[in-house]
Structures are given as C-alpha cells and as structure tokens.
Amino acid sequence: MRKTGYLYDDRYRLHDTGSYHPETDQRLKAIHTGITEAGLLERLCVFPAEPPERRWIETVHESRYVERFKSACRSQNASFDSPDNPICADTFETAMLAAGGAIEAARRVMSGTLDNAFCALRPPGHHAESNRAMGFCYFNNAAIVSRYLQSAWHVGRVGIVDFDVHHGNGTQHLFEEDPSVFYYSIHQHPSFAYPGTGREFEKGKGAGYGFTLNVTVLPGQGDEAYMALMEKTLLPAFKDFKPEVIVVSTGFDAHSDDDMSDINLSTAGFFWIMEKIAEMADAYSDGRLISILEGGYSLRRLPELARDHITILLG
C-alpha cells in the first residue's frame, strides 16, 4: 500500500460564493464524507494547509494581480474580474491556503514522506491566468505546484494531466512555451465549451511546441470514447516525455450526473482514467503524483468519486 496524503482543511470553507453558486463548500463536505464512510480516512496521512511564501505564487501570477486580488477582497467587493468569481473578505486568504496546501503536498511527496497525495482544496485553479481570475479560479494551483517542483526540487520534467470537463486555459497559457512542462487536457467541445480554448491545433509555441496536447470530446460521449482517446493520445505522449512528477488537475464534472457538462462519464470511467494515470506515475515518476481538485459539482456523486480516487492512490 502506498503512503497517500490527504490535504483537508476546514479553512477552505471560508470562501463564501453565495447561495446559488455551484462552487460551494458542500463539495468538500461531500468528498470528505465519501472518504470517511468508506473507511479510508485512517489509512491516509491527513495534513492541513500551510500558508505559502508569496514568491511561489509569483512564479505564476503577476505581483500586480496578487495585490489587486488582495485589495478587492479587503474592500469586500462582490466579485473579482468576472461575475463567475464571487469573493468575500476571506477569499484571498483561502486561495492562498489552496496554493499553499498543494505546495505542502508536493513538498511531502518530494521529501519521501508521501508517495502521492490528493488535495481536496478550494477555490480551484486551472482557469486562472497570470493576471486574471476566471471560471471560479483565482490562483492556478497546478501551475504553482509545477513551478515549485522545478524551482525547489529541480524537477526537470513535469507532466500535467487535466481531465476536468473544461479546458484549463490558464495552465496551458502559462506553460505553452516551456518544453519542461507537458500539459495534457481532455475536455468537452464544442457545447459547454467554456472558456473557448483548447482546440486540438493548440500544441504550444516556440520551444514548447509539441508539449501541449488538447483532446476534445463531443457532447454525449462517455467511457468508451474517453478510453479510446486517452489510450491513443495520453499514454504514448507520456511514454515519450517520461515525466519525473505527475500533477493532476482532477475535475469530476464530466460525470453523467453533473449539470456542468454534456459528457456521460460513469463512476467506473473515472476509476479507469485515474488508474491509468497512477500506472504512468509508477512507470515514469517513481509513483510521485499530486492530485489537485478542480471541478465536480454533483454532490450526490462526489462521495463515490472521491472514494474511488483515494482507493487508486492507496494502491
């Protein structure tokens, strides 16, 4: 059995998105309930978030953006950069703790304290650009962790797998000129095509050309389509790239019962996806894998999806 970390912190509930927003603290409650009721909690190394050094945030985000975000929260503005991004007085600190928690997970994995980790954090991050909040996201947690791995631990090749049903525009844009980070995203297109990026011809730029791989899935598709596409694209790409660490942008919103997409992945389909990613981590990364929560809004399905996710990480 692997040593699996579980980032869980009640302070993530302080980010108040209001009564009708889908990105709610009830998501974390559902995830924690699923893990606990399955009897998995005692098998995990549970740890809280640590406040990050601001320098790690600024490996990804402009200093002016960080200050603008902080000021907007202190001023108790209703939203930041977009109506999709509601804020409260605690949002800035919660977003800092989300990034800090993911960094702490990476530190524990790289130091050998953990083999892998699941970060049940909020707010999510993969839509956040260097200077703009988008799509419920404020700080790009997966990107920050990737830069932390490179700077603090001298990781030469980071592989990011993003299976959230929406394209991670922020993550792609931050790394599209960098051949040391391979960004793979499988997502729905064209319906529900927020944020409108992630076409298959987007393959990176300059020295990073070929290290971005977008795979689009038509509405109505499900397990068979995902399996065939990922077998054809992700598996050979990572076999060639051989990431030293795998960072997963874990979005559960492609489930058939999730209202945020028209994709029909089943719970078993998600199990298959994560199983393949874990196998790649064992093959190329000495098992080093950091899973970071992105989307997933079906409170009915999140308990079982989290349970299966943790079961795979535990091995």
Spans of all domains in the chain: 4-314
CB 260 within 8 A of CB 307: no
Q: Architecture of 4-314 per CATH?
A: 3-Layer(aba) Sandwich (3.40)
Q: For residue 37, how many other CB atoms are within 10 A of its CB?
A: 12
Question: Within 13 Å, how many C-alpha atoms sit on residue 37's CB side?
Answer: 13
Whether 127 is a known active-site residue: answer yes
Low-confidence ranges of the chain (pLDDT < 70): 191-192
Given 127, 167, 187, 189, the catalytic residue: 127
Q: How far apart are CA 246 and CA 61, in angstroms?
A: 21
The two three-digit tokens of residue 287, written as one number = 């098992």
pLDDT of 114 reads 98
pTM of the model: 0.98
Phi-psi region of 164 (alpha: psi -120 to 50; beta: other; left: phi over 0): beta
pLDDT of 1 reads 86
